Amino acid sequence: MALFEEEMDTSPMVSSLLSSLANYSNLPTGSKEHEEAENVEEGARPSKKPVTAPQLGTLMGVYLPCIQNIFGVILFLRMTWMVGVGGVFGSFIIVFMCCSTTMLTAISMSAIATNGVVPAGGSYYMISRSLGPEFGGAVGICFYLGTTFAGAMYILGCIEILLIYIIPQAAIFKIEGLEGPEAEVALLNNMRVYGTIVLSFMSLVVFVGVKYVNKLALVFLACVILSILSVYAGVIKTAIDPPVFPVCLLGNRTLLSKSYDICAKVIEIDNDTVTTKLWRSFCDSDSLNATCDDYFINNNVTEIQGIPGVTSGILAENLFGNYLEKGMLLEKRGIAVDVDPDSPTTNSNRYVLADITSFFTLLVGIYFPSVTGIMAGSNRSGDLRDAQKSIPIGTIAAITTTSTVYISCVVLFGACIEGVVLRDKFGEGVNGNLVIGTLAWPSPWVIVVGSFFSTCGAGLQSLTGAPRLLQAISRDGIIPFLRVFGHGKANGEPTWALLLTTSICEIGILIASLDAVAPILSMFFLMCYMFVNLACALQTLLRTPNWRPRFKFYHWALSFLGMSLCLSLMFICSWHYAIVAMGIATCIYKYIEFCGAEKEWGDGIRGISLSAARFALMRLEEGPPHTKNWRPQLLVLVSVDAEQNVEQPRLLSLTNQLKAGKGLTIVGTSVQGTFLDNYTEAQRADQSLRKLMETEKVKGFSQVVISSNLRDGTSHLIQVGGLGGLKHNTVMVSWPRNWKQPDYHQQFRNFIEVVRETTVASMALLVPKNIASYPSNGERFTEGHIDVWWIVHDGGMLMLLPFLLRQHKVWRKCKMRIFTVAQLDDNSIQMKKDLITFLYHLRIDAVVEVVEMHDGDISAYTYEKTLIMEQRSQILKQMHLTKNEKEREIQSITDSSRGSIRRKNSTAVRPHHSAEEGASVAERPEEESVAVSNIKQVQLIHSKNTSTPTSPTSPTAPAGGAATWTDIKCADKGRNMTATNLETGKDLFNMKPEWEHLNQTDVRRMHTAMRLNEVIMKKSKEAKLVLLNMPGPPKNRVGIENYMEFLEVLTEGLNRVLLVRGGGREVITIYS
C-alpha cells in the first residue's frame, strides 16, 4: 500500500470503511448525538447495556402493526351506515378509490424505503430526505397532526361505544327525556367530558411506561381480528339460520325501539281489544276513540326482519344510495303509504331520524381514516431485521388483506342487512344495538367489547407515535421554534412533545363529533401520502445516480396517479379543510425556507431545480431577449485587498438598488497568482464576496478567477461569466481612484481595457464615480433629483436606469429630470416637444429641459490644459524617472491643472536626478540620448506650468469659466503682479506658436468636456445623482491618458456621477 500512503489521511482503506458500514446505527438523526451527550454526562457511571440487534421480521414488524392500525373505529361504527346511505355501488367506489390510493402510496413508499438503509423515523425521514428539509418539515408536521387527530378520533369512538352501547347510564348529561338538538348537545357534552378524562389517563399511561403499551398491542390486535372473524361467522350463519332482529315500521317509517313495547297498535287480550304503548305514543288517550295522528290512522304497523340473511335478495334493494337531509325520516323503499304531501310531519320524535346531512363527499371524508395506518411498518424500520425486504412485503400484504375485508364487508352488509337498519347509525330501531353487532356471531357483545378495546389500543398507539415523530422533527433542527420539543426524559422519552400532542388532541376531543374529526385527519394523511408519491415520481423521472431501489415494481406513472388521487380526495372530502391543510403546510414550508434550513440531504427538489435550470438555459439559447424583457444582467467587477476583503462595498449597495433581486447578478473579482499556489486566497475572496452580498442583500452569484495578472483575470470574467443564455449584458466597474499617481498607472490602463472589451462584446457599461459617496441601502432620500444628461442615443439605457433605481426605497422620493443638448442648427423647442412625447409613450414621468450649447471660441485655458495633458503623456512614456521624481512630476502637473499655481515668489523647478536614475540610464545606453534630450523638455514644462492661466474652478476665474487672453492680462494688473510674474506672462505669450502643433482633435475634445462640465455644474450641481453618456475610448492605444483626462474634466465638481455606455441595442420600447 506504499503507493497510496500519502492519501491515507483523506481516503480510508476499504477494510475500515466496510467495518464502519457494518456497525451502522438505525437511530434517527439527532438520537445518536443525544445518546453520546448522555454518555458524556454520565462520566464514570457504568456503561449502558449493549444494544441488541433488531430481530423483528415481516409478520411481527410490519404486517400485524399495519393490520392493527388500518382496522379501526370506522369499520365498527360507520361502515354499515356508509353502505346504507351510499348504497353498495357507491360504497364500493369509495372503498376502491381509497384502497387504490393507499396501495399506490405503498408502492411508492416501498421504492423509497428500499433505496438504501432507512433510519428509524419512517415516513418523515423518507419524505424529508427525498424532497428536502422544506417539504420534509411541512409534510412531517402534517403527518404529526394527522396522527394526533387520529388519537382524538379513536378516543371519541371509544367513548361513543361506551356511552351508547355499553353503559348508557354512565352519561353525566342525561339524554333520557331529551329530544332533537337538546339530546344532541347532551351527547356531545358527554363525549367532551369523558373524552378529556380518557385522554388524560392515556397520556399518563404513555408517560409512565411506553413498554406496557407495546406489550398490550398484541392483545388489542387479537380483539380486532376476533371481532372481524365474528362478523364473517355471523354472515355464514344468516345463510343457514337468520337471527331474529325485528324492526317495527309504521307505514314505511322506522320507529324508535323505546317508543313501543309491542309492534302493533292494539292487541287482543281475553277477547278484549287493548291499546299498546305505540298507540299512546301517537294518540291523546288510551281509548279506542282517542284522537290520533293522521299518518298513524291511515297506515299499518308492520314488523320486518332487520337481518333477512345473505340469501334473501336484499342486495338489490341496497344497491343504490339513499342520501338524507338532517332530520329526515328513515323510510323503507317499496312500501305503499297513505300520506298527505301537504300536511306537516307530526310526532317525528317517535321515528328514527337522520342525525346529519349525508352526501357522497362526506362519506369519503369519514371513511378514509379507516385505510390509513400503512406507515406503521416503516415507522418501525429501526426495529426490523431487514427493513428493505420487510417493508414492501408486509405493507402491501396488509393493504391487500384490509382492502379485501373492506370490499367484502360492503357487499356482505348490503346482502345481509335491511336498508333501514343500515341507515340507522346508532341502532335506535334495533333496541340500541351496534348495527354491525347485530350481524356478529355468537353475540353482539363480541363486536362491542372487541371494538372498544381496539379503539383504546389505537388511541394509545397514536399518543405513543405522534410525540416521537415530533421529537424527530425537532431534533433535525429545521423548524427553530420546535427545538424545545426535542428534549425529554433521561431515557429519551419525549415529555414536552407528549404534552403538546395531548393539547392538540384535546382540540379534537372538544369538537366531540367523530364525523367532524375524521375529515380533518383525512386531510393531513392525504397530504402526507401525496408527497410520498411525489417523492417517488421525482426520483424516478430525474434518474439520480443514487436512485437504485431494490423494490422493482414501481413506475413514475403509478406514483403520479397516486398523487393525483390524493389531491382529488382532499378536495372531495372537504375543500375548505383541504385549503386549511395546504395553507398550514405552505406556511411551514415558507417558514423553513425563510429561516434558511442549513440541511443538505441530496433531496429530489435540488435535482428538479437543476433539471428546470438546464431546461430554462436551453430555452434561453434560442435567441436574445426581446426589448420588452431586457433588463441589466450585471457583472459587478470588484477588487480585493491583501486580506481578500472587498475594497468597494458600495458597489454592491448600488447593485441592490438597481436590481432589487431581479435578473442575474454576478459579483466577480480576480486574484493574482497561480491556481495551485493561490487557491486558498481565492476561496477566502469568494467567502468575502458571499458575505458582503448577504449583507447588502444582493441576490446572485460570486465568481473568483486566478490569473497571472489582474488584467487577464478581469478579461476572463467578462468573457466566461454566466452560463449559456444566462449571461451578463452589463458590466459595472468603479472609477479608478488616484489614477494619476504612478502606483495606480496600471489600474487605469486595466480600466480602459474593460471599456474596450465591453464595447467589442456589445455589453453595456456602468461606471459609478465617487462610489464612496453613494447611499447605502439603509439611507433614504426624502427629496432631490436624478438628472439624466442624454447627449447621444445609447439604446435607452439612460432612461431605463433611473426608472429601475426609483423602484428602490432609497431613490423612491427622487424626481427624474432629463436634459439634452441642442446645438446651433437644432430647433430646441421642437426637441423638447418630441422628448416629452417620447417619454409619454415610454410611460416615464420626468421633467424635460433642452440646454442650448453653441461652440464658442476655444479659450487659452483649454489650449494650455490640452498642452499640459499631451506633454505629461509624452513624458510618462519616454522618461525613466525614479519613483520620487515621477510623483513630484505628476503632482506638479495636477496642481497646475487645478489652477493652484499662482503662488508667491514662484520659480522654475529644475529636477535633480538621483544616483539611481543615473545608474538606470547607464544600464540602457541605447536610450541615453533620448533621456538627455528629455531633461531639457522637463525643465521647459516646469517653467510653463508655473504660469498656467487660471482654471474655471479658481476663485479669480471670470464668470462662465472660460478665461481669455484679455481676462488673464486684466487679472494680472488687478492683482499687482510682480515683475517675475510679468516675465512669466511674456513666456506664455511667446509659447502661443507651439499650440499650433497640438492635436486639434484633443483640443476640441477638451473644449467639449469643459463646456459640458460648465453646463452640467450649472444645472445639476445639487442633484442626488447624475447619469451621463460615457464617451468611447480611443481606438488605438495612443493617448489613453488623454481619455482619462477628458472624463475627469467632464465630471469635475460633481458628487455622484454614473457614466453609462450602451450595449448597441435598444433596451426600452414604447410598445406593450
| Per-residue model confidence as pLDDT tens digits over 415-430 | 999 999 999 888 888 8
- Give the bridge partners for 636, in sequence order: 667, 732
- In the structure, what pLDDT confidence band is assigned to residue 998 with cuts at 50, 70 and 90? low
pLDDT score of 895: 52
- For the ranges 48-62, 225-239, 558-572, 924-938, the lowest mean pLDDT is seen at 924-938
- Write out the DSSP string of 930-963: HHHHHHHHHHHHHHHHTTPPPPTTSTTPPTTS--
Q: How far apart are the first and last CA of the chain?
A: 71
| Per-residue model confidence as pLDDT tens digits over 323-346 | 999 888 888 888 878 787 777 777
229's grid cell: 372473524
| Per-residue model confidence as pLDDT tens digits over 769-797 | 888 889 988 888 888 899 998 888 777 78
- For the ranges 774-788, 965-979, 1015-1029, 1031-1045, the lowest mean pLDDT is seen at 965-979
pLDDT score of 99: 94
Question: Angle at which helices 181-208 and 210-240 pack, to 10 degrees?
Answer: 130
pLDDT, the chain, mean: 77
- Give the bridge partners for 723, in sequence order: 726
Strands (E), 276-331: 301-305
* Proportion of the chain above pLDDT 70, given as a percent: 76
Residue carrying the nine cell digits 408486509: 394
- In the structure, what pLDDT confidence band is assigned to residue 596 with cuts at 50, 70 and 90? low
pLDDT score of 59: 86
pTM as predicted: 0.68
Measured CA to CA, the distance from residue 844 to residue 849 in angstroms comes to 15
- The secondary structure of residue 255, as a DSSP letter, is B
The bridge status of strand 730-733 relative to strand 764-769 is parallel
pLDDT score of 912: 40
Q: Indicate if the pLDDT at residue 396 is higher than 90.
A: yes
851, 821 Cβ separation under 8 angstroms: yes
pLDDT score of 1068: 73
Measured CA to CA, the distance from residue 469 to residue 486 in angstroms comes to 10
pLDDT score of 404: 95
* 812 or 127, greater pLDDT: 812
636, 605 Cβ separation under 8 angstroms: no
pLDDT score of 768: 92
pLDDT score of 923: 36
Those residues whose C-beta lies under 8 Å from the C-beta of residue 532, and which sit 6 or more positions away, are 105, 108, 109, 112, 123, 126, 127
* 377 or 449, greater pLDDT: 449
- In the structure, what pLDDT confidence band is assigned to residue 637 with cuts at 50, 70 and 90? very high
Measured CA to CA, the distance from residue 510 to residue 488 in angstroms comes to 27
- The whole-number average pLDDT for the span 376-391 is 76
pLDDT score of 22: 52
247, 430 Cβ separation under 8 angstroms: yes
Tell me the residue type at 205.
V
3-class SS at 733? strand
Q: Indicate if the pLDDT at residue 31 is higher than 50.
A: no
SS3 track for 49-78? CCCCCCCECHHHHHHHHHHHHHCCHHHHHC
Q: Indicate if the pLDDT at residue 984 is higher than 70.
A: no
- For the ranges 181-195, 371-385, 446-460, the lowest mean pLDDT is seen at 371-385
Measured CA to CA, the distance from residue 458 to residue 231 in angstroms comes to 20
Q: Indicate if the pLDDT at residue 492 is higher than 80.
A: no
Q: Indicate if the pLDDT at residue 401 is higher than 90.
A: yes
R_g over Cα of the chain: 45
Q: Indicate if the pLDDT at residue 45 is higher than 60.
A: no
* 738 or 717, greater pLDDT: 717
pLDDT score of 81: 92
pLDDT score of 978: 37
pLDDT score of 20: 57
Q: Indicate if the pLDDT at residue 946 is higher than 50.
A: no
- For the ranges 17-21, 194-198, 863-867, 897-901, the lowest mean pLDDT is seen at 897-901
Please report, for residues 107, 331, 563, the alpha-carbon distance to residue 541 in angstroms, rounded to integers and kept in the order given. 16, 54, 15
pLDDT score of 987: 42
- The secondary structure of residue 430, as a DSSP letter, is T
- The whole-number average pLDDT for the span 896-923 is 38
Our measurement of the distance from residue 792's CA atom to the centroid of its chain's CA atoms, rounded to an integer in Å, reads 44
Other Cβ atoms closer than 10 A to 966: 10
Q: Indicate if the pLDDT at residue 942 is higher than 50.
A: no
Residues in the chain: 1072
pLDDT score of 409: 93
Q: Indicate if the pLDDT at residue 184 is higher than 90.
A: no
- For the ranges 86-95, 551-560, 658-667, the lowest mean pLDDT is seen at 658-667
pLDDT score of 130: 73
Measured CA to CA, the distance from residue 235 to residue 242 in angstroms comes to 9
Measured CA to CA, the distance from residue 1013 to residue 746 in angstroms comes to 27
